[in-house]
Every structure is written in structure tokens, then in C-alpha cells.
Amino acid sequence: MTKEENERRLAYLKGIVLSMPEKPGTYQYYDKDHNIIYVGKAKRLKSRVSSYFHKEVDRYKTKVLVSKIWDISYSVVNTEEDALLIENQAIQAKIQRSTKRRQDLSKHLRNQGSLSSHLQDQNHQQTHRKLLWSL
């Protein structure tokens, strides 16, 4: 991505953040393919989400996360407790989808007869573990 493209992406995201209210809610970050990459909750949406985009962010993993965000959605709720419940439901739904994909891949590899032979080797075990958990 060029510097100009990145600046346009960040300007778009900051525009979304500026339109957020200072109310409780949940937010979701999406990657370039519009897959959810992060789900969060906040007592004050605008303050929480804008904290990711400050230049003073010093945590490496936050910088990496922000570099992968292409879109943001959010939902306003009445209380922080409601936000917690919705966040938990969204995370559980994502975990269930990921688990299903891992099970499908594992079944496919077993059907091909490649799973058990590959998993004998320590390096292949590590590779398959990363592959299965990245889904």
C-alpha cells in the first residue's frame, strides 16, 4: 500500500470515529476483505476507538492491528453491561465459525490421508497448528 492509500484509509477510519457518540457500545474492526479482526466494547465509544489512532500508541500489537483495519462498525447500547453481553455474543459467534472451519479443514486433510502422515513430523505439527488456528 502506498503512503497516499494509507493516508486515505486512515482519514476514512478517523471520519467514522469522529461520528461516534460518547455512549456505551460495541465496535468491530474489519480487514481489507471485510472479515472481522477485532471485537471490543466501550463505556464511551468515541474515546475508546479513537485511542487506537493516536500517534503516541506505543504498543506494537496495537500498531499492527491498526495497520490491518479497513473499516469499522459500531452499535450503541444503553449500558456498559449491555455492551459486554453483545461483545461476548459476537466473540462466541466468531469462535464458532472459526471452529467449524478448523473442523472442516481437519476432516478434509484426514480424508486425503495427509493429516496423520504430516503430523508425524514436529515441523509439520507446528505448521498445521498455525494453519488451523489462523482460520
CATH of the domain at 98: 3.40.1440.10
The pLDDT, as a whole number, for residue 89 is 84
Other CB atoms within 10 Å distance of the CB of residue 41? 22
| pLDDT of amino acid 118 | 46
**Per-position pLDDT tens, the chain of length 135:** 899 999 999 999 999 999 999 999 999 999 999 988 888 899 999 999 999 888 777 788 888 899 999 999 999 999 888 888 888 888 887 666 656 566 666 666 666 655 444 444 555 455 545 554 554
Rounded CA gap, 109 and 42, in Å? 41
Measured CA to CA, the distance from residue 32 to residue 37 in angstroms comes to: 10
Query: Domain of 13?
Result: 3-133
Single-letter residue type at 27: Y
Domain count of the chain?
A: 1
Dist. CA 26–CA 12, nearest whole Å: 19
3-class DSSP assignment, residue 126:
helix
* Cβ partners under 8 Å of residue 74, min gap 6: 20, 25, 26, 27, 28, 45, 49
